[in-house]
Amino acid sequence: MQTKEERAAYTKEWRAKNKDKRAAYKKEYGQTPTGRFGQHKSSTKQRGIEFLFTFEEWWAIWEPHWHQRGGLGHEMCMCRTNDEGAYEAGNVRIDTNVNNIKERHELEKVT
């Protein structure tokens, strides 16, 4: 049986030898619903916004729109109501990026 230190050394060596393989896997995995869920959860944490969805809850909202998601204006994103509160059921909707940006600008004019 390997010690913790031996396992760590083996892992470090394997990662160094397989950088291309790991990068390809990460890129492919990142496009899956599970990968996108993890990215969404991570990015909200970095932005200081609560993310209270389980994968199943998040996927139930996204699944009908999955083929339309993206970062272009006409593509879909998950929007919070009035850009406030947590990402959670009852406080989000799927809408175009353009509409999400318009809403944010309208809210900035009011405040």
Tokens read off for 54: 């389980």
Q: How confident is the model at residue 111 (pLDDT cuts 50, 70, 90)?
A: low
With CA atoms as reference, report the closest residue to 36 among 87, 64, 70, 81.
70
Q: Which residues pair with 51 in a beta bridge?
A: 87
Identify whether the C-beta of residue 96 lies closer than 8 Å to the C-beta of residue 102.
no
- Check whether 28 has a pLDDT greater than 90: no
Q: Where are the beta strands (DSSP E) in 3-100?
A: 76-80, 92-96
**Residue partners of 104: CB distance under 8 A and separation at least 6:** 83
Quick check: pTM over 0.85?
A: no
